[in-house]
Amino acid sequence: MRLAIVSSGLALLLLAGPGAAQTPEAVAAAALRAAPVWDGHNDVPEQMRERRKDVLGDFDFRDTTGTGDAAKGVAPMMTDLKRLKAGKVGAQFWSVYVSANLPEPQAVQATLEQIDVMKRIIARYPADMQFCTDSACVQNAWKNHRIASLLGMEGGHSIGGSLAVLRQMHALGARYMTLTHFKNLAWAESATDVPMPQGLTPFGKDVVREMQRIGVLVDLAHVSERTMMDALAVAGAPVIVSHSNARAINHHPRNVPDAALDAIKVNGGIVMVNFFPAYVVEDTRQWSARRAGEEARLKALNIGFPDAAKAALDEWVKANPAPTGSIADVAGQIDYIARRIGADHVGLGGDMDGIDTGVKGMEDVSKYPALFTELAREGWSQADLEKLASGNMMRVLKAAEAYAAAHRNDAPIESPTTF
């Protein structure tokens, strides 16, 4: 952030003369030594389900660079312990995502399975990972040089429309829930489905209230602007947006509009920036629309000949490659949010292993230091980089914990069963 306040120590070095000034690399390294990265969203559990049906067997999380299969078009995973350490990642929200296309009772079961598989991975590497459910545990993990590992549910379908299930997911360790995924729920409007009469229904507002009463962070990634504003209107504790960007830069409906950014600042929350090109770079989003249009045209021209349509589309993509953006584009997203609502309200939510590619320079979890160097080069101070890394997320979690503690004696919100 170009207007960031330079720390007094750095100011003294600058006064000492050009030769004494810290390099961007040194500023970034110092920030990451003081405050390891706390990433808001990683989909390793989804990879376990898709690649291995949650059977770990001989799976080795220390190094997953050999997990690809070029013949089948399967890329290697983006995450492993070796690369997490190289990336200076000290805390991670692991997403226990399951498909929003599942019937809700099945989604509840699948979410339980995803919680289980991630807990089993964490337990396999006790010297490297520590299962955490609160801020004190995160700090203890850092003290012991372990990656604090927290769980987040991606989509309200994971609770099957039941506050009782929500409370039981909390008891199992889930510490955030994204209100929707790509599809609407009966009680919440997604950013990428048909419009509903409202963002949150009265029951949806009760979901937000009950989440905050028990200490589950409200996550506004994937939801519509109306859902964002409805949730913020009833929220008593800070919210998160675990893996989204600024809509002013990339107009994808998944991203956060300025009005919601401003409301998140008032709420005390945090927007954690995503690395997926289609959400980072507007040109990539426009390319995706052109590709969809070309695909529809070719299918119409080749009715009854799907192989010909596919071959023609492959040729079009080869001649018109997707723009991937770069690490500078991610830095631009972060900088915009920080200039709009302050460096206290931005974080990182890379969506690694939930996306097929990151922007150039952010291809896996080892790349965070390069991003911090880019931001330092643009004028970010060490103090603001420390907030971005994990200081802001720690503040939000502690505030949510304090709110839950203050409401510990409140009666649970009740709702009738539906079958």
pLDDT digits (tens, 9 = 90+) for 193-223: 999 999 999 999 999 999 999 999 999 999 9
CB-CB contact of 39 with 348 (8 Å): yes
CB 265, CB 341: distance < 8 Å: yes
Query: What's the confidence (pLDDT) of residue 18?
Result: 42
Inter-CA distances, 70 with 61, 260, 400, Å = 20, 42, 44
Which CATH fold would you assign to the domain 22-281+327-406?
Answer: TIM Barrel (3.20.20)
399/268 Cα distance (integer angstroms): 9
Say which range, 181-190, 256-265, 409-418, has the weakest mean pLDDT: 409-418
Average pLDDT value over all residues in the chain: 95
Has residue 388 got a pLDDT over 90? yes
The pLDDT of residue 5: 39
More confident residue, 11 or 349: 349
Give the model's confidence band at 327: pLDDT under 50 very low, under 70 low, under 90 confident, else very high.
very high
Percent of the chain with pLDDT over 70: 95
What number is the average pLDDT over the span 265-269?
A: 98
List Cβ neighbours of 292 (8 Å cut-off, separation of 6 or more): none
- For residue 304, name the pLDDT band (cuts at 50, 70, 90): very high
What pLDDT, on a 0 to 100 scale, did the predictor assign at position 179?
98
Alpha-carbon Rg for the chain, nearest whole angstrom, is 22
Q: How confident is the model at residue 342 (pLDDT cuts 50, 70, 90)?
A: very high
Q: What is the pLDDT of residue 19?
A: 41
Q: What positions carry a catalytic annotation?
A: 41, 43, 154, 181, 222, 243, 351
Residue pair 210/163 in contact (Cβ under 8 Å)? The answer is yes
Domain boundaries, the chain: 22-281+327-406, 282-323
Q: Is the pLDDT of residue 144 over 60?
A: yes
Task: Write b or e for each residue in 235-260: b if 16 or more Cβ atoms lie within 10 A of its Cβ, otherwise e.
Answer: bebbbbbbbbbbbbbbebebbbbeeb
Mean pLDDT in residue range 81-89: 98
Output the pLDDT for position 298. Answer: 98
Q: What is the pLDDT at residue 418?
A: 82
pLDDT for position 9 = 44
At 8 the pLDDT is 42
Q: Is the pLDDT of residue 282 over 70?
A: yes
pLDDT of residue 1: 47
pLDDT digits (tens, 9 = 90+) for 21-48: 699 999 999 999 999 999 999 999 999 9
